[in-house]
Amino acid sequence: MRFWFLLVLASALMACTQAPVDDAYPLESKPALAQSDDTQAVLHVANHFSRDDLVAHGLDPAMADAILTARANGIDFASPAQVEETMTLSLPPSANPLCAYYEAMAQYFSIRALQCAYSICYPMSPWYGFMAEYYRKLLRSLCPE
């Protein structure tokens, strides 16, 4: 989802400046695999824009800081998945969509384990319990509260 936000941001900035992305900075020194123009635009925004540019165009300051921190640590974003992961991990636990997902999955599997413990699906109860614990550990590791 944040990938699409960067895509919209890149498209808007390219439309405002009336200059193609290729004129501002070279995207890569090595020949790139066949990537779409949208992907190139998002990678350009993530790799070359300053914090002020990112924040001025609506990106959350925590996400902009995470992108700049990753760049300062020597990461050159090569795929939209890298950008998405960096932005997702930068969110506070309350705003991180993975926290709500892991919590819901842990709750679901806990309920299923309890239901199966008292019904015909009792052989599946340990598996549901294992999955509930798995999602609880993911929740604790990503969203310490």
SS (H, E, C) 122-140: HHHHHHHHHHHHHHHHHHH
Return the pLDDT at 61: 79
Return the pLDDT at 56: 82
Residue 88 CA: distances (Å) to CA of 77, 93, 94, 115, 116: 15, 10, 12, 34, 34
How does residue 54 score in pLDDT terms, banded at 50, 70 and 90?
A: confident
Q: Are both 55 and 108 inside the same structural domain?
A: no
Q: Are both 67 and 117 inside the same structural domain?
A: no
How does residue 41 score in pLDDT terms, banded at 50, 70 and 90?
A: confident
Q: Are both 108 and 79 inside the same structural domain?
A: no
Q: Are both 15 and 72 inside the same structural domain?
A: yes
- Domain final position from 90, 112, 130: 90
Q: What are phi and psi of 85, to 5 degrees?
A: -65, -45
Q: Are both 6 and 49 inside the same structural domain?
A: yes
Does the reported pTM lie above 0.85? no
135: containing domain: 97-142
Q: Are both 83 and 103 inside the same structural domain?
A: no
* Maximum Cα interatomic distance, the chain, rounded to a whole number of Å: 67
Which tens digit of pLDDT belongs to each residue from 89-137? 666 656 677 888 899 999 999 999 999 998 998 999 999 999 999 999 9
Q: Are both 81 and 23 inside the same structural domain?
A: yes
Domain count, the chain: 2
Q: Are both 57 and 127 inside the same structural domain?
A: no
Q: Are both 32 and 52 inside the same structural domain?
A: yes
